[in-house]
Chains A and B, each alone.
Chain A
């Protein structure tokens, strides 16, 4: 792994401490309601952060290429996927599938249940309650997962300190219609936007200076680390919800069976 050089010098002007203090003051002074436009309120903080980062990079006296290679090597090693989420979703899908089949069978044979003895009927009722709770848990987990999958990360709304322009399309691609069925005019407009964006992108890439590359690499590295935190924490919380619910359902079934066999139910 390439070592990151330690030759960065302290920038003239704002120090990290003063910038952090300014951000904290702005944060405390900003009153955000339930439906406030937080993006607009965040702009001053973004500006301060952007200026600080630019100053530090401008004052960097080491070799940009070395630092860029070090950052790239670290970024490639970031783990951005969760291991357990897919397993949990798969289990929930199975529970729902078998639950639907179970409901169909129950409806078909429910009149035959009266032929069993009362203790057997009670046992079947407890099993039915247990599986119903698992079905509700699975639905809850799937809804939670869909909310996480559709989560809009705050960095998507940043203009200057979010996704770096070489790594994400927001800064380089003009919004055009994404309808799967398009008219000739829509296709023409999209194509013209493509040509304009390509020309601008080419100019930007060819004129990119080493310090701008360094800024982009550093920015994207940090953004991916922030994304990793979201993914990891989402996965942990999904696993927690599933575990709590599953053990709750199992505990309930055990308690009810215990009471049944103890003659209390």
Chain B
């Protein structure tokens, strides 16, 4: 047997085999992806602002409660003095 031009020609089965391999790998890889929408920048900013507002409100509530506690402590002290405990 001697070399002929046919040996260097492209074979149709080469393309088919390559395409089958690439398509199967491609779809296998694609099936592993999970596509979700994350929050937008505006949503993130709105959430952050909301959290900041709630923190400020809580801080104000804490300050208010502290004032009430100190007022109650003063009342308790004055009552104790009237009964002669100090």
Give the contacting residue for A251; candidates B14, B23, B29; CB below 8 A.
Answer: B23
Work out how many contacts link A and B, with CB atoms closer than 8 A.
68
Q: Which of B3, B8, B26, B37 touches A252 (beta carbons < 8 Å)?
A: B26
- The answer to whether A115 has its CB under 8 Å from any CB of chain B is yes
B residues near A256, Cβ cutoff 8 Å: 26-27, 30
Residues of A within 8 A of B38 (CB): 111, 114-115
Task: State whether B40 touches A249 (Cβ < 8 A).
Answer: no
Task: Decide if B21 is an interface residue (CB 8 Å cutoff).
Answer: yes
Looking at the complex, which of A35-43, A93-101, A120-128, A208-216 is the stretch in contact with chain B? Answer: A120-128
Whether A233 is near chain B, meaning CB under 8 Å from some CB there, is: yes
- Chain A residue contacts of B22, Cβ below 8 A: 133, 245, 248-249, 251-252
Total A residues in contact with B, Cβ cutoff 8 Å: 29
Nearest chain B residue, comparing its CB with the CB of A111: B38
B interface, over-half SS: helix
A252–B38 CA distance with the chains assembled, in angstroms? 28
> Which residues of chain A from 220 to 265 have a CB within 8 Å of any chain B CB?
229, 233, 236, 240, 243-245, 247-249, 251-253, 255-256, 265
B26 contacts A229, C-beta separation under 8 Å: no
Which residues of chain A are within 8 angstroms of B30 by Cβ–Cβ distance?
125-126, 129, 256, 265
A249–B21 Cα distance when bound, in Å, is: 9
B14 → chain A, closest Cβ, in Å? 4
| Interface residues of A, Cβ cutoff 8 Å to B | 111, 114-115, 117-118, 121-122, 125-126, 129-130, 132-133, 229, 233, 236, 240, 243-245, 247-249, 251-253, 255-256, 265
